[in-house]
């Protein structure tokens, strides 16, 4: 009987497929870097941002995979339930220790578009600049993600 694939294995495979599709759309060869989840996620987010910078529409699957992966990374680094980070239409996570909410709108909400989120996560845009430029809406006492971003140092 074949072994079942886990949800994590399926997400990693989808991320790798999305990355290679984005690279192909950029006219680049498939990803040949380290096969570590964080390395593939960083490469995917970078490829999406490079596509946007070149004036191309990024591959939707690559945007989805990069947004969901970076949101998961944020949740792993700042566990909690007092702040909801929303990146519609691709995902939302609850992060940061504090009072837990169970119904309705949480006490703190951060919301932004996928391109802005990836630029924040990758260190291409500083948190303060995104908030000042109204690319991010942030409400609540724990809504400052500045200390948690970028998720990885900029290249």
Judge contact between 112 and 137, C-beta under 8 A: yes
Question: What's the pLDDT at 107?
Answer: 78
Average pLDDT per consecutive 10 residues, the chain (155 residues; last block may be shorter): 79 95 98 94 98 97 97 96 95 88 76 98 97 96 94 75
Kindly list the distances between the CA atom of residue 115 and the CA atoms of 6, 30, 35, 53, 111, in Å, as whole numbers in the listed order. Answer: 29, 22, 25, 10, 12
Beta strands in the chain (DSSP E): 83-87, 91-95, 109-112, 136-139
Query: Is domain 7-148 in CATH 3.40.50.10190, yes or no?
Result: no
Domain edges within the chain = 7-148
């Amino acid at each position: 009987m074949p072994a079942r694939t886990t949800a994590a294995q399926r997400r990693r495979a989808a991320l790798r497929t999305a990355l290679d599709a984005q690279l192909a759309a950029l006219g680049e060869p498939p990803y040949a870097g380290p096969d570590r989840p964080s390395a593939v996620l960083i490469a995917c987010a970078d490829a999406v941002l490079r596509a946007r910078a070149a004036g191309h529409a990024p591959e939707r699957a690559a945007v989805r995979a990069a947004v969901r992966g970076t949101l998961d990374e944020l949740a792993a680094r700042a566990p909690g339930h007092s702040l909801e980070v929303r990146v519609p239409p691709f995902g939302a996570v609850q992060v940061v220790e504090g009072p837990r909410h169970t119904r309705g709108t949480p006490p703190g909400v951060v919301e932004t578009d996928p391109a802005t989120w990836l630029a924040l996560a990758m260190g291409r845009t500083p948190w303060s600049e995104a908030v000042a430029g109204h690319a991010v809406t942030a409400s609540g006492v724990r809504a400052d993600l500045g200390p948690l971003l970028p998720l990885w140092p900029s290249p």
